[in-house]
């Protein structure tokens, strides 16, 4: 018999867990509780504060969405006009000592002549191919080739996206792209090359709101503050040490146990497997029929999730689309020319930590597998 019993237990108070808790709170049906091993909410989207009061966003810094439900949640948490600053995005790609405005593929007028030729060549080929193509691109790489051609693909899109996501573009699907990745218009690009012009500020996040206080993490702390105190356990008392999926009981660092009807897990899935004492899921050989816990994964941040309960009593969250931007802006103002580029560096490091030694080496050396498709 557990110390506490709830219908739904949410592990993790990052954006995804908070999204689930908000929804459970709104529907006011099943009993629920949200737990996190950190003292404050936010997960990877939180902000570290130094003793001097300097703020460092751990991850997320650009938030935008087209979902009213998501916008309402954020608005409810930080409702005042002066809770927010409005910023214009200023992003550049460092290439051959030049600062090329984002999106790179719309601004090849900034490139050296020989690269302009390569890019236009590919753009024309891709435009011609697009006319006769009657199937959708099967993956991100096909989308890139179809929209930008080989020049832009090799110079920028493939290496950049591999750096950001640590996954070859051939292994990524293309459904998420919509308004996140610009598809260049060949006529405009050529016109800009001839006239030496730069394209306008593209994209849904060309302006964005940023909290006036407490960094990005302030958003999630404020969202968490809208939830009832008695349904939150943060810090040591919220640190999951064991998940018994058969008995449907979770044990915490302080020895407390919580019994659940359904479990929504948002901590990394390998950590979940470890807490369940079942790391074998991660070492099952290729081709093995041993089930892998992918149905338990929830990956993306706080858009209104649709939840489905699996037979094991777990709930897997599937978001209809990511609601906040990935760290994909090849950002950084051209203030210091010797600085290593963008914010994607720590992200790449983080991703590298999840990779096998061989893949990590590849990520580090920048030697990419798209040149060698058979090895991907
Ligand atoms: C460098 C970087 C830059 C990024 N930039 C952006 C950006 O600009 N815009 C954007 O939209 N997104 C950005 N992201 C992505 C964004 O931060 C994540 O998508 C988001 O944080 C995922 O939320 P989550 O709730 O799914 O997971 P997480 O944020 O990882 O939350 C998981 C939670 O589980 C908790 N947990 C783990 N183990 C336990 C345990 N044993 N017991 C209890 N709780 C546990 C953790 O403490 C954590 O709070 C960036 C990420 C990084 C790393």
At 308-320, the pLDDT tens digits run 333 333 333 332 2
Question: Do 196 and 254 fall within a single domain?
Answer: no
Evaluate if residue 217 carries a pLDDT over 90: yes
Whether the CB of 19 sits within 6 Å of ligand 1: no
**Which residue from 326, 43, 321, 14 is spatially nearest to 163, judged by alpha carbons?**
326
Question: Do 124 and 223 fall within a single domain?
Answer: no
Question: Do 220 and 341 fall within a single domain?
Answer: yes
Q: Decide if 33 contacts 256 (C-beta within 8 A).
A: no
Asked which of 204, 228, 259 is the last residue of a domain, the reply is 204
More confident residue, 16 or 329: 16
More confident residue, 204 or 275: 275
Q: Domain containing 33 — which CATH number?
A: 3.50.50.60
Mean pLDDT of the chain: 78
Has residue 112 been placed in a domain? yes
pLDDT of residue 296: 39
Q: Decide if 74 contacts 84 (C-beta within 8 A).
A: no
d(Cα 255, Cα 345) in Å, to the nearest integer?
39
At 141-151, the pLDDT tens digits run 999 999 899 99
Has residue 368 been placed in a domain? no
More confident residue, 374 or 226: 226
pLDDT of residue 246: 94
Whether the CB of 239 sits within 6 Å of ligand 1: yes
Question: Do 198 and 213 fall within a single domain?
Answer: no
From the CA of 3, how far away is ligand 1's center (Å)?
29
Question: Do 18 and 124 fall within a single domain?
Answer: no
Report the domain count for the chain: 2
Whether the CB of 346 sits within 6 Å of ligand 1: yes
Full residue range of the structural domain in which residue 298 is found: 4-86+208-345
Question: Do 251 and 325 fall within a single domain?
Answer: yes
Q: Which element (helix H / strand E) includes 57?
A: strand 55-57
pLDDT of residue 359: 44
More confident residue, 314 or 72: 72
Whether the CB of 36 sits within 6 Å of ligand 1: yes
Any idea of the CA torsion for 278, 282, 286, 289, to the nearest 10 degrees?
30
Average pLDDT over residues 231-256: 97
Evaluate if residue 251 carries a pLDDT over 50: yes
Residue 14 Cα distances to 19, 215, 235, angstroms: 8, 15, 13
Tracing tokens 């005042």 back to the chain, one arrives at 80
Q: Decide if 127 contacts 119 (C-beta within 8 A).
A: no
Instruction: Give the model's confidence band at 159: pLDDT under 50 very low, under 70 low, under 90 confident, else very high.
Output: very high
Query: Percentage of the chain surpassing pLDDT 90?
Result: 53
Return the residue whose CA atom lies nearest to atom 34 of ligand 1.
12
Asked which of 175, 204, 233 is the last residue of a domain, the reply is 204
pLDDT of residue 103: 84
Has residue 119 been placed in a domain? yes
Question: Do 246 and 314 fall within a single domain?
Answer: yes
**Which residue from 255, 259, 246 is spatially nearest to 1, judged by alpha carbons?**
259
Return the residue whose CA atom lies nearest to atom 27 of ligand 1.
14
CB count within 10 Å of CB 218 equals 21
At 17-70, the pLDDT tens digits run 999 999 999 998 999 999 999 999 999 999 999 999 999 999 877 787 878 999
Evaluate if residue 291 carries a pLDDT over 80: no
Evaluate if residue 353 carries a pLDDT over 50: no
Has residue 350 been placed in a domain? no
pLDDT of residue 346: 36
Question: Do 248 and 198 fall within a single domain?
Answer: no
Q: Which tokens is 284 given?
A: 């099952």
d(Cα 266, Cα 18) in Å, to the nearest integer?
10
d(Cα 207, Cα 58) in Å, to the nearest integer?
21
Q: Which tokens is 173 given?
A: 């699907």
What contacts 24+ positions apart, CB below 8 Å, involve 312-317? Answer: 312/245, 313/245, 313/248, 313/260, 313/261, 313/262, 313/263, 314/245, 314/262, 314/263, 314/264, 314/265, 315/8, 315/262, 315/263, 315/264, 317/16, 317/20, 317/264, 317/266
């Amino acid at each position: 018999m557990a110390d506490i019993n709830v219908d739904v237990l949410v592990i993790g108070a990052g954006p995804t867990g908070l999204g689930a808790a908000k929804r459970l709170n709104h529907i006011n049906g099943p009993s629920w509780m949200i737990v996190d091993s950190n003292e404050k909410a936010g997960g990877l989207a939180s902000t570290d504060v130094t003793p001097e009061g300097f703020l460092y966003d751990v991850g997320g810094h650009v938030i935008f969405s087209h979902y009213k439900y998501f916008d309402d949640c954020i608005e409810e948490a930080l409702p005042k006009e002066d809770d927010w600053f409005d910023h214009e995005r200023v992003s550049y790609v460092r290439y051959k000592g030049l600062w090329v405005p984002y999106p790179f593929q719309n601004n090849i007028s900034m490139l050296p002549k020989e690269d302009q030729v390569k890019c236009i060549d590919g753009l024309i080929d891709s435009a011609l191919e697009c006319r006769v193509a009657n199937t959708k691109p099967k993956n991100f790489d096909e989308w890139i080739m179809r929209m930008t051609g080989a020049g832009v693909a090799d110079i920028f899109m493939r290496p950049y996206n591999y750096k950001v996501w640590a996954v070859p573009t051939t292994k990524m699907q293309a459904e998420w792209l919509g308004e996140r990745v610009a598809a260049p218009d060949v006529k405009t690009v050529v016109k800009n090359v001839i006239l030496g012009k730069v394209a306008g500020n593209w994209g849904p996040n060309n302006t964005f709101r940023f909290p006036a206080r407490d960094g990005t993490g302030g958003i999630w702390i404020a969202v968490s503050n809208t939830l009832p105190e008695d349904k939150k356990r943060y810090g040591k008392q919220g640190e999951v040490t064991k998940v018994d999926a058969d008995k449907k009981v979770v044990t915490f660092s302080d020895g407390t146990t919580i019994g659940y009807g359904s479990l929504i897990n948002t901590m990394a899935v390998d950590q979940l497997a470890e807490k369940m004492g079942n790391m074998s899921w991660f070492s099952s050989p290729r081709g093995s029929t041993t089930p892998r816990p992918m149905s338990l994964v929830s990956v993306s941040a706080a858009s209104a999730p649709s939840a489905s309960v699996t037979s094991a009593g777990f709930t897997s969250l599937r978001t209809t689309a990511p609601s906040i931007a990935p760290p994909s802006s090849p950002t950084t103002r051209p203030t210091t020319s010797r600085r290593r580029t963008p914010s994607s560096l720590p992200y790449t490091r983080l991703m590298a930590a999840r990779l096998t030694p061989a893949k990590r080496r590849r990520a580090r050396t920048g030697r990419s597998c798209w040149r060698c498709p058979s090895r991907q």
